[in-house]
């Protein structure tokens, strides 16, 4: 008997990243969709990661759309990973806004509700040997420096202008713009997002609630849900032990899930839950099994 996971429960792209590396080959996207379907998911997440990967996905957009249709899948959120949007360099910001527009075009073609990216990365200057990664570890963030000529007030004005424009681009396509919290980024906690949202002033700027990252950042999950109730459409689900960045299988960390889902119900959340387990930092032994069990767990809570 074929498993059919509830349509509000989404298989995040971290599943593919964990199996195939970061970024996974864009040319494998059709196969990744087959893998999601074989686990029983009806709802999936896809990504375009920085310039080269995003442009490859853009070139494949018609075949991806056709594959999604054939498998009867939904792609509620498409991740457009563009850290250059928050660059201190105007030319780099403009190039990334053009890429963001292409990402929105992909998302719109897939019938997505929104696009998603990490919250803005400050204009850090890392040693040259720091690789491109999903998350920077704490010791790496602490070792970062800033340009000597950085004027924060000028940078903040340029940054908020760029993200205002990104929100407006997304709005043209009928999309929300989801901000994903992570260590070292602006708008990583409840307070930081509310401050950033006020500065941007766009209703389609939303918060992608992430249980593991926020638990690690000491953001009280129950209070955060209450405070951000009007800004949340999408929740990423994975466990965490509170001592480092990790995205564990449900029950392998210390998150109080009963309290969490009681609060989710209390605020009347009706959006999607993205299962976001894995990554090299997490050491999940049986990835597919962890995703299916998480889906069963969330289904019981719905």
Q: Which SS3 state, helix, strand or coil, does residue 44 take? A: strand
Residue 107 belongs to domain spanning: 9-301
- Residue 206 has what pLDDT? 98
Q: Which residues pair with 177 in a beta bridge?
A: 115, 205
Q: How far apart are CA 50 and CA 48, in angstroms?
A: 6
- Residue 164 has what pLDDT? 98
pTM for the complete prediction?
0.95
Q: How far is CA 223 from CA 164, 212, 236, 262, 275, in A?
A: 27, 15, 17, 12, 21
According to DSSP H, which parts of the chain are helical? Answer: 14-20, 29-38, 50-59, 61-70, 90-109, 138-143, 152-172, 190-200, 211-216, 221-227, 257-266, 287-301
53 in a domain, yes or no? yes
1 in a domain, yes or no? no
Q: Which residues pair with 273 in a beta bridge?
A: 9, 235
Greatest CA span in the chain, whole angstroms?
63
2 in a domain, yes or no? no
Q: How far apart are CA 222 and CA 205, in angstroms?
A: 21
- Residue 134 has what pLDDT? 57
4 in a domain, yes or no? no
Eight-class DSSP state of 26: G
Answer whether 56's CB lies under 8 Å from 62's CB: no
106 in a domain, yes or no? yes
Q: How far apart are CA 49 and CA 105, in angstroms?
A: 15
- The number of folded domains in the chain is 1
Count the neighbouring beta carbons within 10 Å of the beta carbon of residue 258: 9
114 in a domain, yes or no? yes
- Residue 140 has what pLDDT? 72
16 in a domain, yes or no? yes
180 in a domain, yes or no? yes
CATH number for the domain including 257? 3.20.20.150
Answer whether 226's CB lies under 8 Å from 190's CB: no
- Residue 126 has what pLDDT? 74
- Residue 130 has what pLDDT? 47
Q: pLDDT means per 10 residues in the chain (302 residues)?
A: 86 97 96 98 97 98 98 98 94 98 98 97 74 62 84 97 98 98 94 98 98 97 98 98 95 98 98 96 93 97 90
């Amino acid at each position: 008997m074929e498993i059919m996971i509830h349509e509000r429960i989404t298989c995040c792209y971290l599943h593919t990243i964990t199996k195939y590396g970061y970024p996974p080959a864009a040319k494998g996207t059709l196969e990744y969709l087959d893998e999601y379907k074989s686990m029983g998911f009806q709802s999936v997440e896809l990504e375009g990661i920085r310039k080269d990967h995003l442009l490859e996905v853009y070139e494949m957009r018609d075949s991806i759309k056709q594959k999604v249709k054939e498998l009867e899948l939904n792609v509620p959120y498409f991740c457009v990973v563009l850290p250059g949007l928050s660059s201190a360099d105007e030319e780099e910001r403009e190039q990334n806004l053009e890429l963001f527009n292409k990402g929105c075009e992909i998302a719109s073609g897939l019938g997505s509700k929104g696009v998603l990216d990490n919250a803005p990365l400050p204009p850090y200057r890392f040693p040259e040997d720091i690789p491109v990664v999903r998350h920077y570890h704490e010791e790496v963030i602490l070792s970062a420096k800033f340009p000597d000529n950085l004027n924060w007030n000028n940078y903040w004005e340029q940054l908020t202008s760029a993200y205002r424009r990104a929100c407006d681009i997304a709005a043209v396509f009928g999309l929300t713009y989801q901000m994903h919290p992570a260590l070292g980024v602006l708008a990583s906690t409840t307070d930081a997002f509310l401050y950033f949202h006020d500065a941007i002033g766009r209703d389609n700027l939303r918060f992608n609630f992430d249980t593991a990252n926020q638990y690690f950042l000491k953001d009280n999950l129950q209070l955060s849900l209450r405070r951000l109730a009007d800004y949340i459409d999408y929740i990423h689900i994975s466990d965490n032990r509170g001592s480092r960045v990790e995205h564990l299988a449900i029950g392998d960390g210390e998150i109080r899930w009963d309290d969490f889902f009681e609060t989710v119900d209390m605020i009347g959340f009706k959006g999607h839950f993205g299962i976001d387990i894995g990554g090299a930092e997490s050491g999940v032994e049986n990835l597919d099994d962890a995703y299916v069990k998480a889906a069963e767990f969330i289904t019981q809570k719905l």
